[in-house]
Structure formats: structure tokens, C-alpha cells
Amino acid sequence: MRRPVKDKKPSKKMSRRAFILMGAQIGFMGILALRMRQLGIKQSEQFRLLAEENRINLQLVPPTRGLIYDRRGRPIAINIPIYRIQMVREQASDPEEVLRKLSQIVPLSEEDISSVLENMSKRRPWVPVTVTEDITWEHVASVAANAPSLPGISPIVGSYRQYPEAHEYSHILGYVGPVSDYDLSKTEDDDPLLRIPRFQIGKNGVETRVEKDLRGKAEIKRVEVNSRGRVMREIDSKPGEPGKNLQLTVDNTVQKAALDRIGEQSAAAVVVDVRNGDILALASAPTYDPNKFVTGISVPDWQALNENKYRPLANKAVSGTYPPGSTYKMIVALAALEAGVIKSDEQIRCLGHVEVFNRRFHCWKRGGHGRVDLARSLRESCDVYYYDIAQRVGIEKISEMARRLGLGTRHDLPLPAIREGLAPTKAWKQSVKGKDWFVGDTLNAGIGQGFTLASPLQLAVMTARLSAGTNIQPRLINTIGEDLMPIKGNEALDIDPEHLALVRRGMFEVVNHRRGTARGSRIRTEGMEMAGKTGTSQVRFITKAERARGVIRNEDLPWERRDHALFVGFAPYDNPKYALSVIVEHGGGGSKAAAPIARDIMLAALERDKTGYGPLPSQKRRTDDPDEQTPIAQSPPKDRA
């Protein structure tokens, strides 16, 4: 019986599959051959070096940190050369033995050696660790001469920050310091520069707020090294960028004048150019020496600063908030004028106090001022006048006017811990305190007490806006590199110019009228007359019993229980150029403690009346600048140009 003939189609299909598979194999082998040719011929040199003990290393060359200048081009933050000794653990067969040999050349204690070994154990083997720094050239030369017996050790010339005008700018510039594990833990910045041992970053002030611009970008080098870690040749490099220079708006002369005039008191002063918002002075006292922080402050120095009751580390000009006292009365007056609840010639009778719901609110003048209009209320600082108009206008409109003039808002400056103060409202008290707003709260706010808080910066901005009639914004940096920072806030305030003129006239009489509270601090030079307002901020509660027997004088109280003294002002009155604020913590009366300081600072600004900026040195850096952190040659670095 014959078998049926098999269908031949499946065999044809199998042949086609085999053909496709064979083609794929040939293609894969071709790609593999091309890759092997690339690796074996074109990149053979590179991989030969990698095979021989990983002899290609990447090196980061830290950029030069940008310099900082005042408005005249005077350097106030510079870089100076420093000699360091670094060690790479993987290049030293026995790091402890090498360190002990090094200690015979460079002063190293047992504690220093232990610290270096501990630091190396926390880092990867190829990461260099600083052994010691700020050593002499003689030590560096000795280390270089003994290099063969000190594997892994290399002398480096780098730079560290120095502040020539240390105390004058401590609260503005802040300081730099070595990057720490804590710094790394709180940043998302993946810049490899931050992993370099002892690399300095901004820790406070402008140094930290403009850190990335000041830092620059590292140069990245690929170098060939021999088995002992010695650099044989440079393969290639990616150029870095030096940090950008900054020019501040601060005038060195005015800044010094403010701090010199404040002296040893706990105080702050701010001077603003009313035409463009430039901050000419931002002074907080007492100051400190930021140079002590650059390489690490000692425990005794830190304790002395931290335990000082005058708080030298705090920048009181922007982070200190105080009841503004009578300097707030211009805000209340404008709110009432804008709301139409008073007229400039309307008189209110002051008997020395008012009673609201069986509670007595006192005027500073026990016998009262008699009949008072707007000009006199400012000139003689009558509290009863403002108790009355505050009730009429209400807290909501008062606080809205305060915010319009720069209080109760955070100003955008490159400084840490800028406080926004407080322009309270009924909703705020209910939300924060869980209580209703009372009429007495409004009366207290009417004279700048109670919940109301403002910083010296805010009070200076308020005065600048009052004097110029524009929504001027404070400005601390003029240029970053070649970029000019914008001037903001030249638009007119949404306030009736006639109302602003009435308030400015009252401020003029405060200083220049024979009954003005600041007459003793007037500027007598024609054309330079100052207008202003004194303020006394109460920090303690005065009981009814104390008032009956006589209020205790500030001089007879402990320092921390005395009133704060305030003054705000602008000049010249007919053509305003500068506005300022001064607060003396627990200084007593504003007319005695703050106004004389303000007058002298204003005179310094007017006498230094040059609004232009000084030229900056060329930003081009020499290739042999010792601030570039590179392995040093066998001779001292050249002097800076």
C-alpha cells in the first residue's frame, strides 16, 4: 500500500526562517566586530590606562569666589591666598604612618592626626582630605622636597575669604565657612564642589543668599597619574566659570557713620534713597567680626557672642520687630484723611486721657494738650488725638494703609530672617489668639502699640514712600556680574497728594517748630532741613497704682525694662533725597536717644551726596592668580595685581 506524498510547503517555511536567522546573526556579528574595532583601536589607549591601576582621574579646580564691593567700588569681601596640605587615602599605603612622617615637617598634634584619619574614614578613598591649612611657605617647600616619602600628600595653594571692613558689614555680608555634613543634608544642590573638603560656602547674609552667583563653576580636568598618584599629563578639561562680583548699594561712609554714631548701644539704623530705593546704610549694633567664622570660630568667642544680652549676631535692622510707637501716627492720620472721617483743621480736645468701657487710655502728657488739630497732633505727638481718630476709622483701614506704606509685608532683599512685622486685623486676632477684637485694641494700634510690630527697614521704607509719594521698593544689590538689578516701585501711591503734603508738613514741624518733640535735633543748614517723627515704644505695662504715685523714669529701671526709642525722618524737606529710621533698644525717649543719632546720620548722607556708583576693578582674572586652587610649583605664588 503506497504512503501518501507529504506536503513540501513546511520545509520551505523552515528554510526561510533559517535564512532570516542567519542574516540576523551575521548583522549582530558585524556590529560586534565594529565595536571591538572601536574599543581595540580607537579607544585602546584610554582603556589601557584604565586597566593599569585606574590611572585616569577627574580633578575639580574650584573657581575663584566673586568679590563684593560697596557703591563706590571699595572692596568689602575679598579672597586671600592660603597654603594647605591635602591627602588622598588610596594613594597612601599606610595613612597613619604617612601622617606621622608629615608631623615631623609640619606641626601636627595627635589630636590632629586622629581627626584627619576619622575624616578620611567617612569619605571615599579617592576624595582628598585637608590635613592642615594656613601654613607657611617654608613648610610647603619642605613637604614638596620630601614628596617621595609622603605618598598621597600634596601641598595646595587656595584661597579663603577675608572681610577688610569686618564690623561695618557683618550683618549685611554675613560670612562663609567650610561646607559641613549638616549643610549637605539640608540642600538639594548637587554641585560636586560641595563635596570638596574645606570648600567654603556662604553661611549667612548676602554670602548665602547669592551663593550660586558668587561660587561660580568648577573647571573639570581629566589627568593621567602614575601608580603613586603623581600627575603625568592632562588629557582634557572642561573650563569653569569664576564667581560673579557683586556691587552693593551701601555707601561705606554712611554705613560707618551710622555705626560710629550708634556706638556701644543695642540699636539699628537704615538709610534709603527715596528716588530709587537704594539702601545706603543698613546698620545693626553691636556688630561682630565675620573673619572669625571663616576658618572656624573658637568656643570662647562663640559663647561671648551668644551670651551677649545685646544680641550682636542678630541683624536688628531687618529681623528685629518692635512696636513702632508714635512713628505709626502718620499711618493712622492718612487712613483717617483718606476715609474722610477727619479734616486737617478739625480740633480734638486732649485732657490727658480718654475713657472707653471704664478703662482709661493715657496721653504721654499727663495734663493734656488742650485743643489739637492734625499738624499739632504730629508736632507734639498727642496720643488722645489718635485714640479718637483710630476709633473712627477702624483697625481694618489703619492696617490696610500700613501695608500700603510698607509695614506688615516682607521686603525682597538678599538677606536671611527678614521679618514682615504685623499690621493686625480682626481676622488675624481671631485666627492667632482665638479672641475677638476689642475697641481697646484699636486705640492701642492708634499710637503704634498693642499688636502692631515693625522693623527698622519697614519704617525706613514707610518714610521713603511718605516723602516721595511713590511705591518705592528697597534695593541692596546694584549689579551681579555685568547684570544691573532693576529699580522697582516708581509708580505713584494710591493716596491723595494733598493728604501726603499735610502729613509731611506735620513731620516738618516735629523737627523745626519751637514746640516740636525733635526740635533739639534739627538740621540748621538752609536747604537741608529734616522732617521726621519721634517715637517711644513701651515694653512694660504701667499699673494704675504706679501712675498714681508717678511713673518710674526709664533711667531708674533695669535696661531691659526701659522703653525703646525711635525716630524716622527724611531730608531735605523741600526736595527729599534720603529717608531713615533709627531705633535704640531700651533707649528711653525717641527725642533724646534716637533723634540726635538720626540727625547725624542724615548729615553724613547729605554731605556725601553723590548718587553715582564708583567704578569696579576689571573682572578679568590672571591665569597665575593664587586664588585658583591648583598644585603649587616650587616657588612662592606671584603677588596679586
DSSP-assigned letters across all residues of 130-162: EEEES--HHHHHHHHHTGGGSTTEEEEEEEEEE
The mean pLDDT of 79-87, rounded to a whole number, is 85
Please check the confidence at residue 21 and state whether its pLDDT lies above 70: yes
**Residue 18 forms part of a structural domain:** no
Of 248, 278, 308, which residue sits at a domain end? Answer: 248
Report the C-alpha gap between 131 and 129 in whole angstroms.
6
Q: How far is CA 586 from CA 39, 123, 537, in A?
A: 77, 50, 9
Predicted pLDDT at 620: 41
**Residue 33 forms part of a structural domain:** no
Predicted pLDDT at 610: 63
pLDDT, tens digit (0-9, with 9 covering 90-100), for 235-262: 777 788 899 999 999 999 999 999 999 9
**Together in a domain, 212 and 287:** no
**Together in a domain, 244 and 256:** no
Predicted pLDDT at 165: 92
**Residue 631 forms part of a structural domain:** no
346 vs 230: which has the higher pLDDT: 346
Report the C-alpha gap between 268 and 285 in whole angstroms.
6
Contact by Cβ (8 Å): 468, 576: yes
Q: pLDDT band for position 541 (50/70/90)? A: low
pLDDT, tens digit (0-9, with 9 covering 90-100), for 544-560: 665 656 667 777 688 78
**Residue 518 forms part of a structural domain:** yes
Report the C-alpha gap between 101 and 107 in whole angstroms.
11
**Together in a domain, 411 and 548:** yes
**Together in a domain, 239 and 256:** no
Report the share of the chain in percent with pLDDT over 70: 85
**Together in a domain, 225 and 320:** no
**Together in a domain, 306 and 368:** yes
Domain harbouring 370, CATH code: 3.40.710.10
How many domains are contained in the chain?
2
Catalytic residues: 326
Of 216, 248, 280, which residue sits at a domain end? Answer: 248
Please check the confidence at residue 631 and state whether its pLDDT lies above 50: no
**Together in a domain, 336 and 483:** yes
Please check the confidence at residue 598 and state whether its pLDDT lies above 60: yes
Predicted pLDDT at 107: 87
**Residue 301 forms part of a structural domain:** yes
Residue 66 belongs to domain spanning: 57-248
173: its cell numbers? 555680608
**Together in a domain, 554 and 452:** yes
Please check the confidence at residue 288 and state whether its pLDDT lies above 60: yes
**Residue 485 forms part of a structural domain:** yes
**Together in a domain, 273 and 131:** no
Predicted pLDDT at 176: 94
Q: pLDDT band for position 92 (50/70/90)? A: confident
**Together in a domain, 229 and 259:** no
**Residue 27 forms part of a structural domain:** no
- Average pLDDT of every residue of the chain: 86
Of 191, 222, 248, which residue sits at a domain end? Answer: 248
Report the C-alpha gap between 154 and 87 in whole angstroms.
6
Report the C-alpha gap between 195 and 143 in whole angstroms.
25
**Residue 503 forms part of a structural domain:** yes
Predicted pLDDT at 3: 53
219 vs 514: which has the higher pLDDT: 514
| E strand map for 577-624 | 578-584
Report the C-alpha gap between 35 and 41 in whole angstroms.
10
pLDDT, tens digit (0-9, with 9 covering 90-100), for 106-153: 888 888 888 888 888 877 776 778 888 778 888 888 888 888 888 888
Domain harbouring 219, CATH code: 3.90.1310.10
411: its cell numbers? 521686603
630: phi then psi, degrees, rounded to nearest 5: -130, 160
**Together in a domain, 234 and 329:** no
Report the C-alpha gap between 72 and 95 in whole angstroms.
50
CB atoms within 10 A of CB 92: 20
Question: What letter would DSSP give residue 192?
Answer: G
**Together in a domain, 243 and 263:** no
Report the share of the chain in percent with pLDDT over 90: 57
Report the C-alpha gap between 276 and 213 in whole angstroms.
24
Task: Please give the torsion angle defined by the CA atoms of residues 216, 220, 225 and 230, in that order, rounded to the nearest 10 degrees.
Answer: -10
Please check the confidence at residue 370 and state whether its pLDDT lies above 60: yes
pTM of the complete model beyond 0.85: no
